[in-house]
Amino acid sequence: MKPKQLAFELPPARPAMGRDDFFVSTANQSAVALVDGWRDWSAGKLVLTGDLGAGKTHLAHVWAAQTEAPIIAAKDVADLPLDGLPPALAVEDVDQIAGNATAEEALFHLHNALSQIGAPLLLTARTAPSRWGLTLSDLTSRMAQASLARLDPPDDQLLIVLMMKHAADRKLDLTPNMLQHIAARLPRSFAAADRVVARIDVHALAARKPANMTHVRAALADIGDDPSF
């Protein structure tokens, strides 16, 4: 009996992060326009929100390329010196520092320092600042001044494009019929689009065959059995 090949769910080696790789649809066009219009942000800052996999990091990289901004994690803001600041800055996952007094205070002082030199600030989070649970009132008031953009859940067109992108990142060939079959049955979420392609990859590798409808159905069954979707 031929042993079954073990397969592991691995992330793509190098996801595409360029402007041309970001597909604009009705679900995200307003947020994209706000990011592109960074010179008009209220108080020089924007909070970009959206679910996991919505494209916040991708848009942050696009914006960073336009403005020569470094991208840092919010948990690392205390390590950034306030002298010699860049002309712009992106800080990711800001909602994750809520309740961390050191990080909140560091972000407050960083915000003020950037404001003094007129450097725009892009912040990403799952939700709007009012829902972060910040404990530093001064930081709360500063965040309330920011422009706000939200990446909405994907529409049908964007869902298919997302699956195509994830498949390309994994060098996985999914036919239009496969994509249409998945789109008709998949929850409308960015995480589901990523997860289903990853599961197709796992099943195809385990079978040592190119992706086919058998692998697609197996991946959809995996998603259907996952209570998080």
Instruction: List pLDDT tens digits, range 15-41.
Output: 555 656 678 888 899 999 999 999 999
Q: Check: CB of residue 20 under 8 Å from CB of residue 165.
A: no
- Is a pLDDT exceeding 80 seen at residue 2? no
Tokens standing for residue 159: 């869902």
Predicted confidence at residue 45, as pLDDT, reads: 97
Measured in degrees and rounded to the nearest 5, phi and psi for residue 179 equal -65, -45
Closest CA to 193 of 170, 213, 212, 214: 170
Determine the Cα–Cα distance for residues 96 and 78; give it in Å rounded to an integer. Answer: 14
Tokens standing for residue 4: 């079954």
Determine the Cα–Cα distance for residues 25 and 188; give it in Å rounded to an integer. Answer: 14
Answer whether 0.85 is exceeded by the pTM.
no
- Is a pLDDT exceeding 70 seen at residue 208? yes
Token pair 């409308």 in the structure block, residue: 188
Predicted confidence at residue 1, as pLDDT, reads: 39
**Alpha-carbon distance values, 214 to 56, 93, 166, 222 (Å):** 33, 37, 19, 13
Return the CA Rg of the chain: 20
Collapsed DSSP state (helix, strand, coil) of residue 135: coil
Q: Check: CB of residue 187 under 8 Å from CB of residue 85.
A: no
Predicted confidence at residue 200, as pLDDT, reads: 97
CA dihedral 124, 125, 131, 136 (to 10 degrees): -60
- Which residues does residue 149 pair with via DSSP β-bridges, in sequence order? 48
69 confidence band (pLDDT: 50, 70, 90): very high
Predicted confidence at residue 18, as pLDDT, reads: 61
Measured in degrees and rounded to the nearest 5, phi and psi for residue 146 equal -75, 150
Taking the alpha carbons at both ends of the chain, their separation in whole angstroms is: 36
- Is a pLDDT exceeding 90 seen at residue 170? yes
Predicted confidence at residue 228, as pLDDT, reads: 63
Residue 227 CB partners (closer than 8 Å, separation 6+) = none
